[in-house]
Chains A and B, each alone.
Chain A
Amino acid sequence: MTHPADITHPAAVTLAAAQHGFLSPTGVEIAFLLVGLATFGAALVTVTTRQLVHAALWLVVALGGLAVEYLLLTAEFIAWVQVLIYVGSVVVLLLFGLMLTRAPIGRSPDADSGNRWAALTVAVAAAAALVWVVVDAFRTTWVDLDGPAAGSTAVTGASLFQNWVLPFEALSVLLLAALVGAIVLSRKAKAESSLPPVNSRAATGGSPSVPDSRNHPIGGTARSHAAKPVAGTHPADQEGAR
């Protein structure tokens, strides 16, 4: 990217729309566009494919493409965090959930939603709103790719903990609340299943941690314990799965 007037400008992010030629793209810009197209394509396949696990794997491609876009914008830290959190954890969790419940090889005929048009409308509206807001907010801002990296770890950390510390703290409180909520929910389920009389369990010889009497709301505890007396899944398993 060439900034004839801004070479000496100290700030990494400069206002240089006037000097910037839209019709003379640099290599980085072309790469950015191509990766963007690939990411978009992967995202489209993710939501349209009939094969559940393929959708999850195409999601990996889409999220990885986003990470490459961050890299091209010199935001190295964000790019690796993107890979670490989304590709390394979220998708693995997704695949874990799929494999645990249903992950048939081949097409799932019921993988199509009847809300196709509503979903499309919402998606297009959300995309339009986001593009409009971002374009309007950063209309004349260009990332100076030649200068010092605008998204290095030091710069990101400084701006996060100096300019954006309040949203950061609010987010961490939100996450903490979600964490506490998850723990409360899982503990409550366990407490319910351990409420029924201890005697019946001792009689059937079941494990003290027989899970989920919630699945048998009508049959009552006696039936549920008789139905699966040796469902001895250790609680640690379930916690790990979550």
Chain B
Amino acid sequence: MTDVVDVALRLLIVFVVFLTFPLIVGQTEHKVMAHMQGRLGPMYAGGFHGWAQLVADGVKFAQKEDVVPAGADRRIFQLAPAVALLPYLLVLVAIPIGPDEGAVGQVLDAGIFFVLAVMGVGVLGSLMAGWASANKFSLLGGLRTAAQLLAYELPMLLTAASVAMAAGTVSLPGILDAFQWWWLPWQIVGAVVFFVAGLAELQRPPFDMPVADSEIIFGAYTEYTGLRFALFLLAEYAGIIVLCGLTTVLFLGGWHGPWGADGLGWVWTLLKTAVLAFLVIWLRVTYPRLREDQLQKLSWTLLVPLSLAQIALTGIVKVVIQ
């Protein structure tokens, strides 16, 4: 009986995190972007600095009519947001935030493969949306999404493999247990490649060619309104949480920190994740969008060779220190 309660409690916590953290990131994005652009951002909803802006947005989305275009493939069109969103919920289950047994939703033996595999499935949602909308802009967005995923999945996998080699395990808590501070300089190239490739997989600026609003309106999501559109947005922000959490766990040592190791490990995880999320927002405000050919070039001619070099370095150091 206690097992059932324990599992239910863990799932509930993961679910609450899944529902609240993306909103926090979204609100932070509103405010950070605004201040970087010399304005205030939302100020009225909720009273204090517009804290309830996203809640109000959610209410607005829920009230809108749910439109399915006449020429669309109804069922797939309606299913797509769920396929885009659910994988990120599943990934959150596997990310450890603290050193204890209780600080992870579910310990998985092949954690790295689980998170990368399931994250890849999320892109299917965008593809389905792009195809089923019966709209050429959506189809173009879907095509770009697919091309981007194919290009950036490889460097992501390779750099994750580098960490797995260093730790000698593919379980996420196992990697954190094996972490040493000097892994940070050792794996720094891999960390950058992983983070950049992850940004591209999330289609965040500067890699937002699939939703480039000045060219193809909003890519695969052009035809969506109301709650389903909100689900796609939620998927994007949940993706930011997942990517930052994963980068933290794989490359930045997760709950390891200079002090406060006992009981405060989760604070380090959250802090590192938050800093990375800020970086994601910062990049959005700073960089112009990459053109499609630049996108592909960056991945195939820079990130893939860099990640291969990182794997070679990891292997050499691993053999030397043994």
- B154 to chain A: closest CB distance in Å? 9
B120 CB within 8 Å of chain A: yes
Q: Are B73 and A96 in contact (CB under 8 A)?
A: no
Q: Are A88 and B110 in contact (CB under 8 A)?
A: no
For B128, the chain A residues whose CB sits under 8 A away are 57
For B142, the chain A residues whose CB sits under 8 A away are 95, 99
Kindly state the separation between the CA atoms of A57 and B121 in the bound complex, as whole angstroms: 12
B143 touches which of A77, A99, A105 (Cβ 8 Å): A99
B146 touches which of A84, A87, A95 (Cβ 8 Å): A95
For A217, the chain B residues whose CB sits under 8 A away are none
B297 CB within 8 Å of chain A: yes
Kindly state the separation between the CA atoms of A60 and B127 in the bound complex, as whole angstroms: 13
Kindly state the separation between the CA atoms of A88 and B118 in the bound complex, as whole angstroms: 8
A69 CB within 8 Å of chain B: no
A109 CB within 8 Å of chain B: no
Q: Are B124 and A76 in contact (CB under 8 A)?
A: no
Residue of A nearest to B294 (CB): A236
Q: Are A236 and B146 in contact (CB under 8 A)?
A: no
Kindly state the separation between the CA atoms of A129 and B108 in the bound complex, as whole angstroms: 35
Greatest chain A CB density within 10 A among B76, B128, B131, B300 is at B131
- A165 to chain B: closest CB distance in Å? 17
Q: Are B120 and A89 in contact (CB under 8 A)?
A: yes
B113 touches which of A84, A92, A100 (Cβ 8 Å): A84
B38 CB within 8 Å of chain A: no
A241 CB within 8 Å of chain B: yes
Residue of B nearest to A241 (CB): B147
B149 CB within 8 Å of chain A: yes
B103 CB within 8 Å of chain A: no
Residue of B nearest to A157 (CB): B170
Q: Are B150 and A240 in contact (CB under 8 A)?
A: yes
For A66, the chain B residues whose CB sits under 8 A away are none
Residue of B nearest to A239 (CB): B300
Given contacts A239-B300, A240-B147, contact A91 B124 (CB under 8 A): yes
For A87, the chain B residues whose CB sits under 8 A away are 117, 120-121, 124
Interface residues in A208-242 by Cβ distance below 8 A to B read 234, 236-237, 239-241
Interface residues in A174-229 by Cβ distance below 8 A to B read none
Q: Mark A36-58, 1 if CB is under 8 A from B, else 0.
A: 00000000000000000110010
- Interface size (B, Cβ < 8 Å)? 43
Q: Is the interface of A mostly helix, strand, loop or mixed?
A: helix
Residue of A nearest to B111 (CB): A80
B134 CB within 8 Å of chain A: yes
Q: Are B134 and A89 in contact (CB under 8 A)?
A: no
Greatest chain B CB density within 10 A among A54, A84, A93, A237 is at A84
Q: Mark B275-308, 1 if CB is under 8 A from A, else 0.
A: 0000000000000000011011101110000000
Kindly state the separation between the CA atoms of A220 and B114 in the bound complex, as whole angstroms: 52
A16 CB within 8 Å of chain B: no
A143 CB within 8 Å of chain B: no
Residue of B nearest to A88 (CB): B120
Q: Are B300 and A92 in contact (CB under 8 A)?
A: no
For A83, the chain B residues whose CB sits under 8 A away are 117-118, 120-121
Kindly state the separation between the CA atoms of A144 and B72 in the bound complex, as whole angstroms: 48
Q: Are A80 and B73 in contact (CB under 8 A)?
A: no
For B110, the chain A residues whose CB sits under 8 A away are 76-77, 80, 152-153
Q: Are B131 and A84 in contact (CB under 8 A)?
A: no
Q: Mark B141-180, 1 if CB is under 8 A from A, else 0.
A: 0110011011101000100000000000111000000000
A237 touches which of B118, B149, B296, B301 (Cβ 8 Å): B296
Q: Are B296 and A240 in contact (CB under 8 A)?
A: yes
- A113 to chain B: closest CB distance in Å? 23
- B83 to chain A: closest CB distance in Å? 9
A105 touches which of B73, B116, B150 (Cβ 8 Å): B73
Q: Are B114 and A80 in contact (CB under 8 A)?
A: yes
Residue of B nearest to A67 (CB): B117
B71 CB within 8 Å of chain A: yes
Interface residues of A (CB under 8 A from B): 53-54, 57, 60, 76-77, 80-81, 83-84, 87-89, 91-93, 95-96, 99-100, 103, 105-106, 149, 152-153, 234, 236-237, 239-241
Interface residues of B (CB under 8 A from A): 71-73, 76, 108-110, 113-114, 116-118, 120-121, 123-124, 127-128, 130-132, 134, 139, 142-143, 146-147, 149-151, 153, 157, 169-171, 292-293, 295-297, 299-301
Task: Pick 30 A–B contacts, CB within 8 A, sort by A.
Answer: A53-B73, A54-B76, A57-B76, A77-B109, A77-B170, A80-B114, A83-B120, A83-B121, A84-B157, A87-B124, A88-B117, A88-B153, A89-B150, A89-B153, A99-B139, A99-B146, A105-B71, A105-B131, A153-B169, A234-B293, A236-B293, A236-B296, A236-B297, A237-B147, A237-B293, A240-B150, A240-B299, A240-B300, A241-B147, A241-B150
